[in-house]
Amino acid sequence: MQPSIKDKVEIAKSYIDKGFNAVFVLKTVKLSRSTYYYSLSVEGKEKAKPKGGKPKGYSLDNEYKKICDEQIKEFIMESIDGDALNYGYRKITYHLRRYYNLKINQKKVYRLCKELGILKDQRVIKPKLKRTIAVNRTITGSNQLWEMDIKYGYVQGEDKFFYLLNLIDVFDRSIIGYHMGLHCEAKDAAALLRKCLIKRNLFEEGASRPVIRTDNGPQFVNYKFSECCEEIKVEHERIPVKTPNKNAHIESFHRILEDDCLKINEFQTYAEAYETVNDFMEFYNNRRLHSSLRFMAPNEFYDLHFGENQTNIQIRV
């Protein structure tokens, strides 16, 4: 029986350590010098652990700006509602690179699609939710139309994103409620909607409910949010893909939030971000003047015209 390479290395090493000529010993045991010295170099060393860890939570675009995973999920949902309807995750990857200028690989797109439950085989098995398209409306009073959407913030000191889910009344511009957290799911959107109905005394039996308008984000196309709207008898309509003008009032608020709060503050901790945003929301609702509200603050305007239909103030959306 021929000795193994490992046995030959051990035999050769024992003789060389005793002072025998290395070239003569290796020739005798029929072992090449490279094999012998390589075996000595790796002896006792453990195999290095594969690199890996927790996903970063964001990707970069072509301008090296950080785009958080929740925003990328919205891009994916927009894509499959549009040109990428029948795409698998590989084609979606190239779609994101071409039309959203993202630096992203197929493994990450696969993970995000799996989290959304829209991988090709799952999308065939799972029936698609009935979608109600947003229609043109004329708003003459509070609590007739509410808009809901997500804004993303960044904590520089902790290198992570946070999410702001805001709900605005189109007529009086009040931010009735908001959810802020490191995660934002369909259950958070449903809880926020319930909280806002309670806050405005619209949860009682027989109360007239507002229409809730959203985009096509994963939180709003989820079955949990749809079931919540059916249960509390709220009509939910979604804007067509790539038409943010149909959600203009919440988008306008997010621009104010970005310019007056998020952009001018470099947060070092999430607690600091939470306190700053909370202070801004209080300022916006109670002290910030709106020219469209006859230079009143949103809550002041709401209190003045509570329960009224204004024929001289009409908002077409």
Residue by residue, DSSP assigns 270-310 as HHHHHHHHHHHHHHHHHT--BGGGTSB-HHHHHHHTTT---
On whether both 63 and 159 belong to a single domain, the answer is no
- Taking each helix axis from N to C terminus, what angle separates 186-199 and 223-231, rounded to the nearest 10 degrees? 20
Q: Residue 209 has what pLDDT?
A: 92
58: left (phi over 0), alpha (psi -120 to 50) or beta: beta
Q: Residue 123 has what pLDDT?
A: 46
Assigned domain for 132 exists: no
Please give the average per-residue pLDDT across 191-220, as a whole number.
Answer: 92
Residue 79 near residue 92 (C-beta atoms within 8 A):
yes
Q: Which domain holds residue 92?
A: 58-125
Assigned domain for 213 exists: yes
Instruction: Report residue 234's pLDDT band, with 50, 70 and 90 as the boundaries.
Output: very high
HSE of 180 in the Cβ direction (CA atoms, 13 Å)?
15
pLDDT tens, position by position, 248-294: 999 999 999 999 999 999 999 999 999 999 999 999 999 999 988 98
Q: Residue 135 has what pLDDT?
A: 78
Which stretch, 90-94, 109-113, 146-150, has highest mean pLDDT? 146-150
Q: Residue 57 has what pLDDT?
A: 86
On whether both 28 and 65 belong to a single domain, the answer is no
On whether both 118 and 146 belong to a single domain, the answer is no
pLDDT tens, position by position, 152-196: 999 999 999 999 999 999 999 999 999 999 999 999 999 999 999
Q: What count of residues does the chain have? A: 317
On whether both 101 and 206 belong to a single domain, the answer is no
231 has pLDDT over 50: yes
- Output the pTM of the full model: 0.69
On whether both 144 and 87 belong to a single domain, the answer is no
Instruction: Report residue 199's pLDDT band, with 50, 70 and 90 as the boundaries.
Output: very high
Out of 125, 158, 178, a domain closes at 125
On whether both 297 and 161 belong to a single domain, the answer is yes
Q: What is the four-CA torsion angle of 287, 177, 163, 118, rounded to 10 degrees?
A: -150
Out of 125, 152, 171, a domain closes at 125
Rounded distance between C-alpha atoms, residue 194 and residue 176, angstroms: 11
Out of 99, 125, 151, a domain closes at 125
Indicate the range of 5-14, 42-51, 100-109, 141-150 predicted with least confidence: 42-51
Question: What ranges in the chain are assigned the alpha helix state H?
Answer: 5-17, 22-28, 33-42, 69-81, 89-99, 106-116, 120-125, 186-199, 223-231, 248-257, 270-286, 298-304
Q: What is the four-CA torsion angle of 133, 138, 141, 145, rounded to 10 degrees?
A: 10
Report the mean per-residue pLDDT for the chain.
87
Residues 6 or more apart from 308 whose CB is under 8 A from it? Answer: 141
